[in-house]
């Protein structure tokens, strides 16, 4: 069994992909736009003018694959009730990725030493995706 995160970015997927490439070194393994779908879309599935939006993508971030789409392209992504946890090798890397993810986002818990890690913090990026950054003890 495999569980993978799938982000619906509601029209901001390409922007998010570029952000994650710069912030985390994400590599795009696959990207398909709505216009490239081999089957016609169901009526109402793709809003007019969204043909160039991302129907499906797969990013590799470290050893993990994160999938993403523009979804219904309404422009209002909403991520509640979960966080992506990013384990990094050391405090310097934690500082770097936390700052990168927080650029244009919101710090939920500042990056600090805790009883369980030399560095741990929580931040929501500019797309509203919550991240927990931790250095393994």
The pLDDT, as a whole number, for residue 47 is: 74
Residue 44 has a pLDDT of 63
Asked if residue 84 lies in contact with residue 132, where contact means CB atoms within 8 angstroms, the answer is yes
Say if residue 46's pLDDT is above 80.
Answer: no
The per-residue pLDDT for 80 is 79
pLDDT of residue 129: 94
State pLDDT tens for residues 101-120. Answer: 999 999 999 999 999 999 99
- Give first-to-last CA distance, the chain, whole Å: 27
Confidence at residue 25, expressed as pLDDT on a 0 to 100 scale? 97
Whole-number Cα distances in Å, 31 to 24, 71, 120, 130, 134:
18, 13, 32, 23, 29
Across residues 14-34, what is the average pLDDT?
96
Average pLDDT in the chain: 91
Q: Residue 101 in contact with residue 50, Cβ under 8 Å?
A: no
Evaluate if residue 31 carries a pLDDT over 90.
yes
Domains of the chain by residue range: 6-69, 84-135
Coil, strand or helix: which one is 109? strand
Residue 77: other Cβ atoms inside 10 A: 18
What does the pLDDT look like over 72-103, one tens digit per residue?
777 777 787 889 999 999 999 999 999 999 99
Domain 6-69 annotated CATH 3.30.750.24: no
Task: Give the separation between CA 41 and CA 55, rounded to whole angstroms.
Answer: 11
Question: For domain 84-135, which architecture applies?
Answer: 2-Layer Sandwich (3.30)
* pLDDT score at 41: 64
């Amino acid at each position: 069994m495999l569980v993978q995160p799938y982000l619906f970015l509601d029209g901001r997927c390409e922007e998010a992909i570029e952000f994650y490439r710069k912030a985390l070194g994400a590599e795009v393994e696959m990207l398909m736009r709505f216009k490239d779908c081999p089957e016609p879309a169901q009526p109402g599935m793709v809003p007019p003018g969204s043909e160039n939006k991302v129907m499906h993508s797969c990013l590799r971030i470290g050893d993990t694959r994160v999938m993403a789409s523009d979804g219904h392209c309404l422009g209002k992504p909403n991520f509640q009730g979960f966080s992506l946890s990013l384990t990094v090798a050391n405090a310097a890397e934690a500082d770097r990725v936390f700052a990168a993810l927080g650029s244009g986002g919101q710090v939920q818990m500042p990056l600090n030493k805790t009883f369980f890690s030399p560095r741990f913090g929580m931040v929501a990026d500019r797309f509203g995706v919550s991240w927990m950054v931790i250095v393994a003890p």
